[in-house]
Each structure stands twice: as C-alpha cells, then as structure tokens.
C-alpha cells in the first residue's frame, strides 16, 4: 500500500488498518464476519494519503464505497476527500488496484445500494437513522 499514509484516529479503524498492513492482505479482516477492502484516499485539504477500510461491495471488478458513517447525520470525512480527489487505491485480499471514484445516483445508485445491503445488511438500518441519502461511490 501507500507509504506514509495516515491511520485513522478512530481506534477500531486504526487497529483494523494496522492488521491489514501487517499481514499484507485484507483476508481474514472482517467487520461482523463480513470482508473489507482497504481504500487509500487523498485528503481534500491536506493532500495526505489516508487509509479507509470499508465493507467489501464488489461487482465485475468494480467496487463501491458507501459513506454511511453508521447512519450519522454528517458524511464521513473521507467522503469529501473522494469528492475532491477521485483517484483511489483499493486493496482486496493481496491485490491492489488504482481506480476512479464517482458518486452515483438514481437507478445506478439503487443497484449498488442493493449490493451494499446484501454485502452488509446493517446499511439498511443506517439509512433509517439519518435524513441524508447515504452516498455511494462506484470505483472503476
């Protein structure tokens, strides 16, 4: 992955990221028994690389990043980084690829939202906790 990328200040996110970096793969790293992908984004203001482990939502070599923040009323900080700098690195297992993210809407968002809920059912509950439509990025 990216040298000198910043780890999350959130304990469980940082610990998960450190485990992936130490073992060199996302294999065996899970949230609620579901696999994760380690994304590397670029800070919108700082320009620093930042690690973001998220649920694995994949279809035909494309990935989704779901900006749920557990149903919080505000977007996660990484959302603004991806909007400003859509080139994102994704590590799935021991394979790392560089992709371009775009926020999806309408039928395309609905398709990816359904894939996300299948991959991680709590997303459906998170949407009920917030008035914002949880953003979904597709990376290809």
Phi, psi of 9 (to 5 degrees): -75, -15
Rounded to the nearest integer, the mean pLDDT of the chain is 93
Domain extents for the chain?
A: 11-139
pLDDT per residue over 53-91, tens digit each? 999 999 999 999 999 999 999 999 999 999 999 999 999
Q: If we measure between CA atoms, which residue out of 69, 125, 65, 71 comes closest to residue 99?
A: 65
User: 63 forms bridges with which residues in the sheet?
Assistant: 58, 139
Residue 104's pLDDT is what? 98
For the chain, give the number of residues.
Answer: 140
> Distance between CA atoms of 1 and 14, rounded to whole angstroms?
15
Identify the three-state secondary structure at position 83: helix
Q: Kindly tell me if the per-residue pLDDT of 3 is higher than 80.
A: no
> Distance between CA atoms of 134 and 10, rounded to whole angstroms?
21
> Distance between CA atoms of 73 and 5, rounded to whole angstroms?
27
pLDDT per residue over 25-63, tens digit each? 999 888 778 899 999 999 999 999 999 999 999 999 999
- According to CATH, the superfamily of the domain at 11-139 is Electron Transport, Fmn-binding Protein; Chain A (2.30.110.10)
> Distance between CA atoms of 95 and 127, rounded to whole angstroms?
31
Q: Give yes or no for a contact between 85 and 52, defined as CB atoms under 8 angstroms apart.
A: no
Q: How many CB atoms lie within 10 A of CB 74?
A: 10
- Distance (Å) of CA 72 to CA 16, 20, 34, 123: 21, 26, 21, 12
């Amino acid at each position: 992955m990216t040298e000198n990328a910043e780890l999350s200040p959130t304990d469980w996110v940082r610990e998960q990221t450190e485990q992936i970096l130490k073992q060199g793969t996302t294999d065996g790293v899970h949230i609620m028994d579901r696999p994760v992908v380690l994304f590397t984004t670029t800070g919108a203001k700082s320009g620093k690389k930042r690690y973001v482990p998220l649920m694995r939502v994949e279809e035909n070599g494309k990935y989704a990043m779901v900006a749920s923040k557990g149903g919080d009323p505000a977007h996660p900080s990484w959302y603004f980084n991806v909007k400003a700098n859509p080139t994102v690195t994704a590590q799935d297992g021991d394979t790392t690829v560089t992709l371009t993210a775009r926020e999806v809407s309408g039928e395309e968002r609905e398709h990816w939202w359904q894939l996300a809920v299948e991959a991680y059912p709590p997303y459906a509950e998170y949407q009920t906790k917030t008035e914002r439509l949880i953003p979904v990025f597709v990376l290809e």
